[in-house]
């Protein structure tokens, strides 16, 4: 039996996290999997996680733990401590482009979690490299995945500045930059539009709306959409933009590649490990309105570049298909690692 510990929050109006998507796929592969926790209160969620580990302790083969850099890092710490005490094999799954800050500033807790783990799974080569630099050796790279058949490829060539942004509204993702880019394109005389898809995570949602009003640009805010809804919406847009200041290997970029959308993204965290600049996407400096505007204008004026990015992006996305990635999970969880 496998217990998967993480934040089950889609029922609270948030975007589904890895525990929900990967958990469902592992269950379909025949693994006996229990998930925890869906408690909305953070303290109750931690207690539920700990109790579930203890309750199933005698029949657990592995405990998977989604591990983030924010306050949720403490979930991983306390669950790891309990697993060590109970002599259970546990596997942290590393998330968040800012997890290195925990390695720097929470070294003792990091050592407890990661040095005692059966293995540490890194969805990105970026984080794997970072962890190796800090002296952690028991690492395995299993990439984030998509079910490729769900993504209808639309080959792009000639495009307009019809921009799509898909992310939770959080300060670290810098959503206001998207509005600034829209405004700058219009100032350059380009007929541009922007749709922003995602739930509110912090006050950046209101700040982004206020900025759109202040700059007098029309932005479509859809709120949280189901995957199928935003995939359907993507057909009406040409360019996928990613404005984040911190990141790991965002699934949204893999999804955009699968759809054939040319991508313009900031070159932070693990993104340069995912996107080869000029080959399957365009990378720009973080928080640079001018660079992102220039990259978008280059796409609008270069059908050949768009076509290459579209085709190469889809080819890159195939390497993240569940049909490929599932064998790596099977190997690990069947103790062949």
pLDDT at 101 > cutoff 60: yes
Question: Lowest-pLDDT range, 7-16, 63-72, 88-97, 269-278?
Answer: 7-16
| 133-168: pLDDT as tens digits | 999 999 999 999 999 999 999 989 999 999 999 999
Separation CA 303–CA 50 (nearest Å): 54
Same fold: 2-145+322-333 with 148-318: yes
For domain 148-318, which architecture applies? 3-Layer(aba) Sandwich (3.40)
> What are the boundaries of each domain within the chain?
2-145+322-333, 148-318
Q: Which CATH class is domain 2-145+322-333?
A: alpha beta
Question: For position 335, what pLDDT does the model report?
Answer: 63
């Amino acid at each position: 039996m496998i217990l998967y510990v993480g934040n089950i929050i889609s029922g609270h109006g948030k975007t589904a996290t890895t525990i929900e998507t990967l958990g469902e796929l592992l269950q379909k592969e025949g693994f006996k999997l229990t998930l925890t926790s869906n408690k909305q209160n953070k303290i109750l969620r931690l207690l539920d996680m700990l109790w579930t580990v203890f309750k199933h302790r005698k029949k657990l083969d592995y405990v998977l733990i989604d591990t983030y850099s924010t306050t949720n890092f403490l979930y991983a710490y306390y669950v790891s401590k309990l697993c060590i005490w109970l002599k259970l094999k546990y596997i942290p799954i590393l998330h968040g482009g800012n997890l290195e800050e925990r390695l720097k500033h929470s070294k003792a807790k990091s050592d407890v979690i990661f040095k005692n783990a059966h293995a540490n799974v890194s969805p990105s080569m970026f984080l794997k490299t970072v962890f190796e630099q800090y002296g952690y050796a028991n690492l395995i790279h299993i990439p984030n995945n998509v079910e490729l058949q769900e993504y209808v490829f639309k080959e792009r060539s000639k495009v307009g500045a019809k921009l799509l942004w898909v992310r939770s509204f959080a300060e670290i993702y810098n959503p206001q930059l998207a509005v600034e880019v829209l405004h700058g394109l219009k100032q350059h005389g380009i007929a541009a539009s922007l749709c922003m898809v995602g739930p509110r995570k912090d006050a950046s949602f209101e700040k982004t709306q206020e900025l759109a009003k202040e700059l007098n640009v029309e932005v479509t805010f859809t709120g949280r959409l189901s995957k199928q809804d935003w995939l359907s919406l993507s057909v009406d847009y040409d360019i996928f933009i990613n404005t984040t200041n911190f990141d790991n290997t965002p699934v949204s970029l893999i999804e955009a590649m699968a759809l054939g959308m040319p991508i313009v993204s900031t070159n932070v965290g693990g993104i340069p490990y995912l996107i080869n600049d000029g080959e399957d996407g365009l990378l720009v400096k973080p928080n640079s309105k001018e660079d992102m505007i220039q990259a978008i204008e280059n796409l609008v004026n270069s059908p050949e570049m768009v076509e290459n990015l579209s085709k190469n992006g889809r080819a890159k996305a195939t390497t993240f298909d569940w049909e490929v990635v599932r064998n790596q999970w099977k190997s690990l969880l069947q103790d062949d690692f």
